A and B are shown apart, each in its own frame.
Chain A
Amino acid sequence: MDRFTKLTGVAAPMPLVNIDTDMIIPKQFLKTIKRTGLGVNLFDEMRYNRDGSEIADFVLNRPQYRNAQILVAGDNFGTGSSREHAPWALLDFGIRVVISTSFADIFYNNCFKNGILPIVLPQEEVDKLMDDAERGANAVLTVDLESQTITGPDGGSIGFDVDPFRKHCLLNGLDDIGLTLAEAPAIDAFEAKAAAARPWA
């Protein structure tokens, strides 16, 4: 996993609430057996006409947001399925930070496994960042994970919370599985105990 430390990039506004995983990456693109190459189909049905031409007023098709690395989104972003293709598509497009008032649980977890930082903020702060993002190419935000701050185009900055363990993994680009395999003796011990207590399971 790529580490995430600090990012300065263009923020794109997507104020719609309940942006679901079928919107982020429609089902026909889940047939891949790879993790890469999904960026071109990110938000496919909102972004393209059926003939493949771009829908001009979709945010990521507008010139000032084509290289966006941050999304500022409406409430309950990522609701729906467990498809990790959603963060894979965001990452492949170049999005490394998503900011919203809330995220669906599985999507939120999936982001951290892929070097994407999802940030939860109160409504008034999301509204302010949405305003910043609406300003287009001037809407450059700096997200610093170490200090847990977002700095806006006007120089003002706000703090955000992140789970310490997840922060540690993101900052260092750590592979969870490697960490857990180092706990093998604890898993062995648990299995021995569980086999005695619940031998049928």
Chain B
Amino acid sequence: MSTPRTLYDKIWDDHVVREAEDGTTHLYIDRHLVHEVTSPQAFEGLRLAGRTVRAPEKTVAVPDHNVPTDPTRLEGIEDEQSRIQVEALRRNARDFGIEMYDIDDHRQGIVHIVGPEQGWTQPGMTIVCGDSHTATHGAFGALAHGIGTSEVEHVLATQTLIQKKSKNMLVEVDGDLAPGVTAKDITLSVIGKTGTAGGTGHVIEYAGSAIRSLSMEGRMTVCNMAIEGGARAGLIAPDDKTFDYVKGRPHAPKGAMWEAAMTYWKTLHSDDGAHFDTTVRLDAAEIAPVVTWGTSPEDVLPITGVVPSPEDFAGGKVDAARRSLDYMGLAPGTPLREVEIDTVFIGSCTNGRIEDLREVARIMEGKRVKEGLRAMIVPGSGLVRLQAEEEGIAAKLQEAGFEWRMAGCSMCLGMNPDQLAPGERCASTSNRNFEGRQGYKGRTHLMSPAMAAAAAITGRLTDVRDLL
């Protein structure tokens, strides 16, 4: 009998082109997603060396990071540097024969939302992109992770990546989530427990009944933030929910090819007795709705908690916490539920999918955004936007006081006009609360869409369970 293997082991083994004695491996890449910010230097490198793209049919381009999210973008991007980057992507896609979803295409959106929507993302694949949140695609049981621009160039030229295998980490979440607790609370709680370096050197497989019970959208939220936990990638074994999601998508296999794919996909799970180097377990019933208080995604607390004191920590984290509290303008001991906000941002590759918008609409039912708040909803793709409009969600949310924007990364990283002003405090469904992330001196509290909706209603960090 062969040695039991993890899901990661299996995908890895099926993509080894060549392995050197020291374990340095050329890993074959099935899908390469490209956006405007981390690719121009890679294409320039190809041109300078007279090289070409080895597999343009496995490469997809989408502008997302710095595209404005108001409709005037269709008349041209005002910011010159952003415009140049998007134009460069357009030229590179054309010159090298790569399919691109341009800013006037209704399928355009955040690359990690477009990939699954269009069926480019499939179980068992290796998927890379010059963006750390590529981990999102792991929700399909694909090995997916971010790479730097030099590696983007390497994949463009060779369709391979030079890698050494990571360790296996199992994150098991069993039990039932309480009402008001969502996939975002799971993924933040895991990071709160392991820290932002807890997954360093590992690929995480998320398992357990609480993970299995999540929709594909929820699973994408969980895997999306594997990178905030320091892991190279996050994975969830594919099951019927996965296959149902993929089936019928434009680039999904069809007919006999679908049947062949299904036979293979059903082998994609960790074998009984497979070895994990590290295991972390969480009881779903103990997870509360959480928010971040500081400037690292590990600064996670239940909404019922109070702002911590630097002395609550040890080692280098004492100074880091002091700096975070100063940046965030928070005093130790303050109940989190008393922290007032100025802005609500709902969107990003973490929480910009249709289910997220439905959840916000559910919480907002019969309620309004508090007077004076700026609250924006940025669908993760043009298709999510259309679907929300067809379902009547868009109209309801606009009536409730939200701005309804075009698709893009928007205020998740503030590379486009959507930014916080200095000192502004934001309830955000995005993935990073770093200093300056959403705008110079902007203050970010990460949370679920349900929690962000609750904050929009009251104007302060709020326990969504009080509104259910």
Contact = CB atoms under 8 A, between A and B. Distances in A.
Contacts of A190: 17, 28
Nearest to A23: B435
A171 B356 CA distance: 49
Interface of B: 14, 17-18, 20, 22, 24, 26, 28, 30, 37-38, 40-41, 44-45, 49, 51, 54, 65-66, 79, 81-82, 84-85, 88, 122, 124-125, 130-132, 145-151, 153-154, 157-160, 162, 164, 196-197, 200-201, 227, 230-232, 253, 257-258, 260-261, 264, 296, 298, 315-317, 319-320, 323, 413-415, 422, 432, 434-437, 440
Contact of B316 (A74, A79, A81, A165): A74
B257 A199 contact: yes
Contacts of B422: 50
Contacts, number: 195
Given A113-B151, A183-B18, A199-B257, A20 B434 contact: yes
A16 B132 CA distance: 22
A50 B440 CA distance: 9
Interface stretch (A4-12, A134-142, A173-181): A173-181
Contacts of A110: 148-151
Interface string A187-198: 100110010011
B24 A165 contact: yes
Contacts of A131: none
Contacts of B164: 163
B211 to A, nearest CB: 23
B20 A165 contact: yes
Contacts of B44: 33
Contact of B230 (A76, A81, A176): A76
A199 B260 CA distance: 9
Contacts of B200: 76, 102-105
Contact of A176 (B22, B154, B315): B154
A200 B131 contact: no
B131 A45 contact: no
Nearest to A164: B22
A26 interface: yes
A105 B85 CA distance: 26
Interface in A90-134: 102-106, 109-110, 113-114
A109 B436 contact: no
B264 A80 contact: no
Nearest to A103: B200
Contacts of A33: 40-41, 44, 84-85, 88
Nearest to A86: B148
Given A31-B415, A199-B257, 10 more contacts: A20-B432, A22-B434, A22-B436, A26-B440, A27-B436, A82-B131, A103-B200, A106-B148, A109-B148, A177-B51
